[in-house]
Every structure is written in C-alpha cells, then in structure tokens.
Structure 1
Amino acid sequence: MRTLLAAVRGAGTALVVAAVLPVPPAVAQPAEPGTDRQTWSVAPASTSGPDGRAGFDYVVEPGMRYDDHLAVRNLGEGDITLDLYAGDAVNTGTGGFDLLARDEASTVVGDWVTVSSPQVVVPARDTVVVPFSVTVPADAEPGDHVGGLVAAATTGGDTPVEVERRVGSRLYVRVAGPIDATVRIDAVTPSYRGTPNPAGTGEVDVTYTVVNDGNLRLSLLPSVGVSGLFGLGRRSTTGEVLPELLPGNAVTLTQTLTGVWPLGPLDIRVTADPVTSATQSLGGTVAPATADATLWAVPWTALVALASFLGIVIALWRVRRKIRALRGGPR
C-alpha cells in the first residue's frame, strides 16, 4: 500500500508537513539543532537563485512555451534526494489549496510542465536551481489553470507503507481569451434551533455549496440573510472571504445567524459576491450568485407554554362550574 501524506503551503517557500492542511502563508524552517530530520524548501528563481517572486504566475497565449527555474534549498545537515514534478491544483472541501497526489493524473498545468531534472541531489545547506518549461497546448481553453511544482522525498521504501513528504510552489497560468466569472450556489439547507425560553430567539444554521462555473480563480465574500413575512425580524451575517475558489471547484460552507425570532415561514437568501480575481478587483463588475430557500421556524416552546396556560384556565373553569353546581348556583 502506498500512502501519500502531503501539503503545499504558502504562495512561495513552504514547510514540509505530513497532512493535508489549509494553505496559509508559510516560510520553511530549518531542522532543529542536533537532529537529522530532512527539511527543504522551494521557490521561484532565476538562473542564479531565488528571485523573490511569491509564486509562478504567467499570462500566455495558446501554443506558447515559457521557460523558468525552481530553486530547491536543503536546510538540513545531510545530502537529500528529491523528486521534482508538477501537479494540478484543487480546492479542499473547506476551500483550502492542495495539489493532486503524484499517482493522480493531471490534465492541465501538471501535464504542461516539463522538469529538466525529475530527480536532484541537494547537498547539505545548499541550493540547486532546476530549469523547467511550461508548454501551453494550442487548443488550451481560456482562463485560469492552476497547479504547482513539487519537491518530494519518499521514506519507508522497505516497509509496507511509504510516506511521501512534499513541498511546493504555486503555478498560475492564465490563457488569453474570453473570460467568465460565473458562480452558482447549490444545496441550500437551513435549520432552526430554538431556545427553552418561550420569549427568546433562536439560531438558524445555513449550509450551502458555492461552485465556480467560470474560468477564473475567484475570491468570494459569502453572506446569508433571513427574514419573516413582510421582512419582519430581518437578520444577516457575512462570512470570511474565500481566498481562492478555482475554476470547476466547489466549497461547502455553514453560516449561523443568531437572534432569529420563530416567525413561522422564514425566507433565506444566500449570496456569494466575487471580490477579486488574482490581483484584479471585481467589486461591482460581476453579479453575485444568489440562492433562496424557505424554513419553518415554529415557536414550539411558546406554543407548549400557551397550551399549558390554556389547559390551566380550562381546568380552573371546570372546577368553578362544579363548585357552583354543588352550591346550586348558576353555572
């Protein structure tokens, strides 16, 4: 069995980890003194070494070839052998950035990259610069194609389980042509959670899926609103910006609105507003995606309290009738 445990973290240099994690900015750190742990980093480079770029970012025409360099730095105290390869990028279920595993076939950027040296030996505390090329097919579809360049080490070769540790640098290729920033919202599922207090408010949880149907990578601002009939009890909440939803990918989110009165039928509206694409602001130029749903929020606690009160009133009325009947008075 072959187990791949890996992550690509940060837009440039990255830290080796052994799990699929979200992708906050990260800086590679050297191995702890007195240990033989292998630690390495990668970064965009010129022929002479790292050049300060955060990642690889190209705007190209179909059929174009682009030549570039990757710097691989060994931060450990011993020589290290690393495999170099490219892979297509995907969003994780929560919107994070990850690359396909080595044994998963890449069909776009990962397939367009040719690395001059698929395997390199990097001496201790040294850096090796490796040339590579990106060849864009003549029939490449317009828009953003995203992947990454990876330096990986595999351990446990003589055991039933092999573990691959990898670090990478993101690779963005925008192919010239018509662009499309279409986003849609699917599977809106709201639910209401009441409170034991008959006069209190409850919470509405709204789970939904945002899908990027266009050909641009997008940063999106999600929000959810709820209101009763005629707009009564309107409440809204805005979530954190989704930093990068890749074309063809989806992310499922849950947002909670507090202080919602149980007013019977509640109207739910979910919105995903495109904010930026790469470094380009989209504010107001691209229509947000919206989706609606209806939720019944029944004030069960209040109804039970009311029913109990009415029950007590009826019981007292019956007792009073019986007392009057025994006294021979009017009922």
Structure 2
Amino acid sequence: MIKLRRKSRIEKRIFLICLSFFIFFLCLFSPQPLSAIMSGQIGIKPAYPDPAVPTSIGRFDYSLAPSETKEDAVEVINTYDKEIVLKIYSVGATTTPDGIFALGMEEVVEDVGTWIKLSKNEVTLAPYTSEIVPFTFTVPADAEPGDHMGGIVIQEKEVPKGEGSITIITRVGVRIYERVPGEIIRGIEITGFNWEFMAENAEELKKVNFGKLQSFLGFRRKVHFSVGLHNQGTIREELKSNVTVTNMFGKEIADFDTENGMIFPKKDVTVNVNWLKEGSFPLFGRYTAKVAVTYEKDLPPVEAELAFWAIPYSLFVLIGILIALGVLIYLNRLLIKELAKKEMVVYIVRPGDSLGSIAQRFDVKWKKLAKINNIKKPYHLKPESYLFVPQGSILNLFLRQLIRKKRVFWIVIIIAAIIAIVLGGWIYYQYQSRQKSDEANQQEEQNQSIEFQPTAEESRDQTRKEDLKKIQSALEQFYQSYQRYPLASELSKTNQAGNILDQELVAGGFMAELPKDPQEPTYYYGYRSDGQTYELTSILENGNDPEAISISGFFIYKITSPKQELPDSSDSETTT
C-alpha cells in the first residue's frame, strides 16, 4: 500500500511539471494579441520603431540628404479570422482642400511615393498573423530641400461588395515624412477671404425656443468664413486662425480661435472658420471681420479683413407685406363705406336738428351716424348739410352695392387672390429654401464621414483622448465626494501596478476599470495632482494633431483641472 501511494504522488508531480512546460511553450509561441489593431481589421505600422522616438511607432520620420538611401520595413497585420490577400504600394501625400492629411491614390504616384521600393507588392496573411515587408527609401539627387510626404498603403486585393451597387474600399496607410536638408524657406500668403450665411439644421433648431421661427425671420444665421492660403515655403506648416468680428459701432462681438490642419509646401488650402457662438449671431448692420493666420510662433501672422452686411430680408419682407395688408384693409374700409353710402338714405339737416334726434327718427345709433359722416366732437350740425343714414349694417349695404356693380366686385376678388397667392408663394419659397439647405448640409456631413478614414495612429490617438476624458469625469466625481483630487506629487503611470488612480478611482467605485493606452506598456497615461488641481497626459503618435503640444520632441495631449493648470514639471517621465 505504501509503495502504491508513493508512486501515485510521483506520477502526479511528473504530470504537473509536464503540464506547466506545455502551458509555458504554448504561451511563448502562440500569436500575441495586437492591441493597436482591433479584431476584424487590417493594419500597417513601422516594423522597427525606435524606443527613443515615440512617434516612430506609428510613422516614419527621415532627414536624408539627396542620393542617400535607407533600408527599413513595415509590419502588415491581419486580425481577421480568415486568410486575406493584401495589395501593398507606395503613394505620395496631399491635403484635402480644408487641410486634412491624406495619402494619394494607387493610380497617382508622385513625390515620396516614387522614392520607395517595396520588396513585394502583395502579401498573403493567415488569420491573426503579421508579416514584415522590407523597403528601400532613396532620396533623388535632385530633390529640393524641405519637406516631402508620402506613405505605404495596404488594401484587400479582392474588394468586398457593399449593399446594392456600393463598393467599399478600406485602405490603411502609414505615413512617411522626409525633410531634405538645405535652405529652409517659410512663408504663408492669404489668397482669398470670403463669407456666407449658413442656416442651422433642424436638429440644432429643435434645441432653441421658437428656433424655426427665429431662423425663418433671419435671427439665427451662422456665418461661414473661408480663407484661401498658399504655402510659399519649403516645409509643411501647422495652421491656427483667429477671427474677430466688430459691429457698425466698432464693438467687438466675437473672437474665436480654431485649429486648421496643415498645408504642404507650394500647395493651397482653404481654411474654414464658422461663427457659431450662441447669442452673438449677426442681426442687422455692417460687420467687419478680421482673420489672423498663425503658422510659426516666431513669425508674424498673416492677416486679412472684409466687411459684410447682415440684413434679415425675410423679416423685412414680412413687415412690408403686413404694412401693405394694413393699407389695403384701410382702403378697403373706405371703399366699403363709400359704396355703402349709395344704398343709404340722404337726409338734409334742418335748423334745430341734432345727431340724437335724427338717430332716434331713423332708429340708428347716433355714434354710428357720426362715424359714417365723419362728424367729430362737439358734433355740431350745419343746416342744409347732407347726412347719410344707414338702413342696416355697413357690410350688407356694401354687398348689395357690390352685387349691383359686378366690375368692382371682380376687381376686389382679383386683388385679394393676388395678395393671397404672393404671400403663400413667398412662404413656400422660404420653406423650400430651408429644406434644401438642411439636406445639402446633411449630405456634406455624410460625404465627409464616408470620404475620410482615419489612419491607425489617428484612431489610437482618438482612443487616448476619449480615455483621458473618462478619467477626467471620474476625477470630478471624486472631487465632489471628498473636495479634493487623488494626491500624486510624482508622476503616476497607469501601466504601473497599484498606481494612485487604481487605488482611489477604481477601488472607490468611481470607475469599473482604469483605461489603458492602446500601446501599453510602451505608452501610458500620466497623472499628478496637489489635491486641488491635476494634470492628465498622454503621448500622441500623430504629430499633426492640432491638440498636440510639442515638448522635447514628443507630442503631448494634456487635460488639466478646470480650476487652474499645474506648473510645468521638469520630470521627463511625463513624455516617455
């Protein structure tokens, strides 16, 4: 019995050791999850990012001289549960008319797209796998100094069909920025400054009391400014614009800043700025708008000015129609009175007559008698004068006379019909104009949402911003409960176990779980606070993000407490 018992224990130990080795090797050699690319997507990124350069995870940044060559590679990723065949090709880059970075199409290869030589043009990937694709980047000997942009794009070889006749093409790219050394020229010029009124859509008007009526009368009109810009320099520029608006009395009624994307060297963009501030819509008068476009803090902004008139035509037309109707009603009353007189008794005033006695004789109210004959106070009557005495109501007398004179009758009917048709047509025209404007705005929004697909790095950056806002909401709830924020004099990192946010927000029930950076542990979210103010930080991969702050070569997105901002810290860990 003892031998059998010992043998059983030894067998159990051997079995557990073998099982442990099996699990270890299974974890070691199984495909690792790709946190940056969600399941059911394709992705591409630099294959060998430099840990010292955070942006190298999502893009390539080169500074190669003419004729210089660099060997590099991209990693192509498949997170579908099926095998997929991808095309891979190089393209140039451009910006949309309003300054959004966009990689070129496969059919049009220019600039940096011609400097890239890929080792293959097609990749076949099994489910949940990736492949390294090397490429050679060669700067031509005659390349001009300055910035050159392009990228490497992947897309499915067999394009999937959408519903109906719609064809859906999903392209994913990684950017390549090359700055050829040499003389750097900087300069932006304004080529145009225009404006137009924009009607609010139906959803916006629902949020306002009598919104549709205000819009119909011209009280709620947004102003859209468009600024044409040309980059005379040799490097790309990040654009920021400030617009101020003053009324006819010189009072400033609007002042707003906007981030406007980028502009490539020797290219043109149109910066769009919308005056949307509630309560400051232009009502009536002459307004002056000034725009100042900043592209380099050490250089003066470029400026332009225009004047425009805001006139609520709909209101004025409506007032005009009401005045015309009032005049017509007044003239109509006079006409009715004059025609009715022809059906009245004519009485010749005798000495000793008064309005009261005459009214009693004909069984008419004396005030009505005075009104018809335009007799004013003190109501004296002159002998031998004529008085018109109504025998019935004025309207009955008018209709009786109107029926007798058919020509006058039809003239009145035609005038009334013309007024009704003009008023109805004007109201219908205004309604249709509003409907078409709303449909055009909705179509433009749909086109924009379909046309521009974010890159992988932009998607990750958007996730980072949303995560920080979730943490910010939990911090404000914490403050409402304890009148302080979680204390962290030194930078607290979300990729560290037992960090202060896990201890206070998650353990305290303010968050179910703490968000993690999509590229953790390489990236993380940072937090520090003195109890009354706080600072949340994240590193962005897209250096062209208008909300990114460049610090020591890193692009930082920052959220601070509403009360005040913490002083800048010298701790370099906030950017690593």
TM-score (norm 1): 0.68
Q: Displacement of 1:327 after TM fit?
A: 7.9
CA gap of 1:326–1:202, structure 2 versus 1, over 3 A, is: farther
Question: Matched residue of 2:106: which SS?
Answer: coil
Partner residue, 1:10: none
**Pairing partner for 1:245 from 263, 266, 288:** 263
Q: Are 2:287 and 1:266 aligned?
A: yes
Query: Matches of 2:91 and 2:107 in 1, distance apart?
Result: 10
**Pairing partner for 1:56 from 38, 60, 84:** 60
Q: Are 2:131 and 1:128 aligned?
A: yes
Partner residue, 2:47: 45
Partner residue, 1:287: 300
Partner residue, 1:155: 158
Asked if the contact 2:228–2:268 (Cα under 8 Å) also holds between the matched residues in 1, the reply is no
Partner residue, 1:93: 97
Aligned-partner residue type, residue 178 of structure 2: V
Aligned-partner residue type, residue 303 of structure 2: T
Asked if the contact 2:260–2:272 (Cα under 8 Å) also holds between the matched residues in 1, the reply is no
Partner residue, 1:29: 38
Asked if the contact 1:56–1:172 (Cα under 8 Å) also holds between the matched residues in 2, the reply is yes
Q: Displacement of 1:117 after TM fit?
A: 1.5
Q: Displacement of 1:251 after TM fit?
A: 3.2
Q: Displacement of 1:124 after TM fit?
A: 2.8
Q: Displacement of 1:64 after TM fit?
A: 1.3
Query: Matches of 1:76 and 1:157 in 2, distance apart?
Result: 14
Give CA-to-partner distance per residue, 1:49-75, whole Å, 9 cap, x none.
Answer: xx9622111112122112111111222
Partner residue, 1:6: none
Query: Matches of 2:262 and 2:270 in 1, distance apart?
Result: 10
Q: Displacement of 1:181 after TM fit?
A: 3.0
Partner residue, 2:187: 182
Partner residue, 1:21: none
Name the one with the larger strand percent: 1
Query: Matches of 2:318 and 2:126 in 1, distance apart?
Result: 75
Query: Matches of 1:181 and 1:323 in 2, distance apart?
Result: 85
**Pairing partner for 1:141 from 138, 141, 144:** 144
Question: Matched residue of 2:63: which SS?
Answer: strand
Question: Matched residue of 1:294: which SS?
Answer: strand
Query: Matches of 2:95 and 2:133 in 1, distance apart?
Result: 27
Query: Matches of 1:173 and 1:242 in 2, distance apart?
Result: 22
Question: Matched residue of 2:87: which SS?
Answer: strand
Gapped regions of structure 2 (runs ≥ 5): 1-33, 200-213, 331-373, 381-576
Question: Matched residue of 1:46: which SS?
Answer: coil
**Pairing partner for 1:170 from 171, 175, 197:** 175
Question: Matched residue of 2:114: which SS?
Answer: helix
Q: Displacement of 1:183 after TM fit?
A: 2.1
Give CA-to-partner distance per residue, 1:83-111, whole Å, 9 cap, x none.
Answer: 2211011212343222111112x220001
**Pairing partner for 2:246 from 208, 227, 234:** 227
Partner residue, 1:297: 310
CA gap of 1:81–1:197, structure 2 versus 1, over 3 A, is: closer
Q: Displacement of 1:120 after TM fit?
A: 2.3
Q: Please provide the CA RMSD for this pair.
A: 4.1
Query: Matches of 1:163 and 1:154 in 2, distance apart?
Result: 12
Structure showing greater radius of gyration is 2
Asked if the contact 1:91–1:251 (Cα under 8 Å) also holds between the matched residues in 2, the reply is no
Q: Displacement of 1:43 after TM fit?
A: 0.9
Asked if the contact 2:145–2:183 (Cα under 8 Å) also holds between the matched residues in 1, the reply is yes
* Structure 1 stretch displaced more, 164-173 or 140-149: 164-173
Question: Matched residue of 1:231: which SS?
Answer: coil
**Pairing partner for 2:88 from 73, 84, 87:** 84
Query: Matches of 1:162 and 1:192 in 2, distance apart?
Result: 35
Question: Matched residue of 2:157: which SS?
Answer: strand
Aligned-partner residue type, residue 193 of structure 2: V
CA gap of 1:86–1:156, structure 2 versus 1, over 3 A, is: closer
Aligned-partner residue type, residue 165 of structure 1: T
CA gap of 1:78–1:187, structure 2 versus 1, over 3 A, is: same
Aligned-partner residue type, residue 291 of structure 2: V
CA gap of 1:325–1:232, structure 2 versus 1, over 3 A, is: farther
Query: Matches of 1:110 and 1:223 in 2, distance apart?
Result: 35
CA gap of 1:204–1:82, structure 2 versus 1, over 3 A, is: closer
Q: Displacement of 1:174 after TM fit?
A: 0.8
Asked if the contact 1:154–1:163 (Cα under 8 Å) also holds between the matched residues in 2, the reply is no
TM-score (norm 2): 0.41
Partner residue, 2:397: none
Query: Matches of 1:85 and 1:201 in 2, distance apart?
Result: 49
Q: What pairs up with 1:105-120 in 2 under 5 angstroms?
A: 106-120=109-123
Question: Matched residue of 1:60: which SS?
Answer: coil
Asked if the contact 1:235–1:257 (Cα under 8 Å) also holds between the matched residues in 2, the reply is no
Name the one with the larger helix percent: 2
Q: Displacement of 1:260 after TM fit?
A: 5.0
Question: Matched residue of 2:299: which SS?
Answer: coil
Aligned-partner residue type, residue 185 of structure 1: I
